[in-house]
Amino acid sequence: MSKRNTPVENDGPAGGEPHGHAETLPFDADTLREECGVFGIFGQSDAGALTALGLHALQHRGQEAAGIVSFDGERFHTERHMGLVGDYFTKQSIIDRLSGHASIGHVRYSTTGETILRNVQPLFADLDAGGFAVCHNGNLTNALTLRDQLVRDGAIFQSTSDTEVIIHLVARSRKRTFVEKFVEALWQLEGAYSLVALTNKKLIGARDPLGIRPLVLGDLDGSPVFASETCALDIIGAKFVRDVENGEVVVVNKDGIHSHFPFPRVPPRPCIFEYIYFARPDSVVGGRNVYEVRKRMGRQLAKENPIKADVVVPVPDSGVPAAIGYAQKSGIPYEMGIIRNHYVGRTFIEPTQQIRKLGVKLKHSANSAQVKGQRVVLIDDSLVRGTTSIKIVQMMYEAGAKEVHLLVASPPITHSDYYGIDTPDADKLLAANHSLEEMRKIVGADSLQFLSIDGIYKAMGHKKGRNAAVPQFTDHCFTGDYPTGLTDRTGKAQPKQLSLLQEAG
């Protein structure tokens, strides 16, 4: 191990026990898991601190753990912790340890791999080619298959994260240059990845051939920046330059930025759920302001489902922009009929059965004065298991609502996700197992309606709906149209993504 590449690891207490770990609330465990956020910067003396700020802005993409790796010209420095960015990366001692001009970071809510510190990214390895740190947003659909092959060939895995497969593939490549090794590794992957990687000479940003997960390129006083979303550029005062394109590998070194397109070009298939739920409303994803799109989804919902009601109430925060759009289009007044407690932290003491029964009230409370005696249009962005809706509809009735009409600003989720959103298996998806009327009865509302799939595309600016839309988004949750092979699920060895690329080439 050369001195140059030796990482200074500060991974918390010995034995891999997580720092500051707290059990999530049992009823939190019932909600979905979120995906991840990535960030990278090259050529700033306080790169580690800037990365911490960027991750802070990406916190909504993952609250389980955060990590940063920096490189100071000689050594890599690693800090990885369970918990929120602000729990650790505001401490001067930690930021001081992340010295150097280049840095990458990750916020995580595990989509694959267990909740243990050694799965927390960035992952680091000292390769023949030099030190290599990588962080990943997305989920590979052939990671288990690749891992089995690698283990049979003698690879020793340190984590259960699918990202480690990428490190092993890079390590094994016999190509000459680091970028060639990296690209050869990417060729073997199937599924979704937006990667930010750091070597002792380069910062790399890469998006899978379909561009399923987002990644943007920014500029801070001449220093290139990669981030999952533009809100992470805004927080450090960086300019948005452009989206990293689907299938693009952007390599940054001291000589500048070099763009590579190693795969045959295919039309992008960005994930529609970024617009519906994941991305922060102030971010611009694929040229669209997320807040505007969500408002348009609400307007479209009003066009498709006009209802006689007295008040439009959002399920905060996720339903707010759509509810504003619905209210504007329908002319029904918008009111905050539900108040969200923002301080329900992950460190909340595990509740007793008695407290557990209070369930959702910890997070949401009815604002009775606004709903009593009213016909309420209740708006949320999505319905998955129905857990939230059941509780909130009941809460509205208990607060005295005369009628409750639940409108969902996205179509019924009938299929699981394997690209990093990690929706539950189909047997737990309400819409996969019940008719509209059955769902209405389950959530207990006077009426229940969803935005149509064409309505979603119209809100995205595609007037003719889904089938005429370019790009056609990754919308398998609603359509079952998975844009890549699902090798780990189907056991079919030839990844569809790869064969699709080879055909295109």
| Active site positions, annotated | 36
* Residue position matching structure tokens 């389950």: 442
> Please, which of residues 253-282 interact with ligand AMP by CB under 6 A?
277
Indicate which single residue of 72, 234, 380, 454 sits in contact with ligand AMP (rule: CB under 6 A): 380
Residue 254 burial (10 A CB sphere; 0-12, 13-18, 19+): exposed
Stretch that binds ligand AMP, among 32-40, 215-223, 346-354, 459-467 (CB under 6 A): 32-40
Nearer to ligand AMP, 164 or 417 (CB): 417
Indicate which single residue of 105, 337, 386, 483 sits in contact with ligand AMP (rule: CB under 6 A): 386
| Distance in angstroms (rounded) separating the CA atoms of residues 501 and 254 | 32
Stretch that binds ligand AMP, among 81-89, 301-309, 376-384, 393-401 (CB under 6 A): 376-384
In the bound complex, what is the minimum distance in angstroms from residue 33's beta carbon to ligand AMP? 6
| Distance in angstroms (rounded) separating the CA atoms of residues 22 and 64 | 10
Q: Which amino acid does the sequence have at 403?
A: E
Indicate which single residue of 384, 439, 459, 460 sits in contact with ligand AMP (rule: CB under 6 A): 384
Indicate which single residue of 5, 7, 34, 173 sits in contact with ligand AMP (rule: CB under 6 A): 34
381 counts as binding ligand AMP under rule CB under 6 A:
yes
474 counts as binding ligand AMP under rule CB under 6 A:
no
In the bound complex, what is the minimum distance in angstroms from residue 34's beta carbon to ligand AMP? 5
78 counts as binding ligand AMP under rule CB under 6 A:
no
Nearer to ligand AMP, 30 or 184 (CB): 30
290 counts as binding ligand AMP under rule CB under 6 A:
no
Phi-psi region of 285 (alpha: psi -120 to 50; beta: other; left: phi over 0): beta
The secondary element (H helix, E strand) that includes residue 304 is helix 290-304
Could you tell me the two tokens for 422?
Answer: 């990690």
Indicate which single residue of 99, 200, 318, 452 sits in contact with ligand AMP (rule: CB under 6 A): 318
- Contact predicate 48/77, CB 8 Å: yes
48 counts as binding ligand AMP under rule CB under 6 A:
no
387 counts as binding ligand AMP under rule CB under 6 A:
yes
Please state, in angstroms and as integers, the Cα–Cα distance from residue 277 to each residue in 37, 409, 489, following that order: 14, 10, 26
Could you tell me the two tokens for 319?
Answer: 């339903």
Size of the site for ligand AMP (CB under 6 A): 18
Q: Strand 7-10 vs strand 76-82: parallel, antiparallel, or unpaired?
A: parallel
Q: In what order do the strands lie in the sheet with 223-227?
A: 7-10, 76-82, 65-71, 102-108, 37-42, 223-227, 216-220, 239-243
Nearer to ligand AMP, 296 or 364 (CB): 364
Stretch that binds ligand AMP, among 9-17, 61-69, 242-250, 385-393 (CB under 6 A): 385-393
Taking alpha carbons only, the member of 213, 281, 200 closest to residue 38 is 213
- Contact predicate 16/9, CB 8 Å: no
In the bound complex, what is the minimum distance in angstroms from residue 261's beta carbon to ligand AMP? 31
338 counts as binding ligand AMP under rule CB under 6 A:
no
| Distance in angstroms (rounded) separating the CA atoms of residues 375 and 265 | 51
140 counts as binding ligand AMP under rule CB under 6 A:
no
Indicate which single residue of 7, 12, 32, 279 sits in contact with ligand AMP (rule: CB under 6 A): 32
Indicate which single residue of 382, 416, 452, 487 sits in contact with ligand AMP (rule: CB under 6 A): 382
DSSP 357-391: HHGGGGTEEE-HHHHTT-EEEEEES--SSSHHHHH
Q: Which residues in this chain contact ligand AMP in the complex, by CB under 6 A?
A: 31-34, 277, 315, 318, 380-389, 421
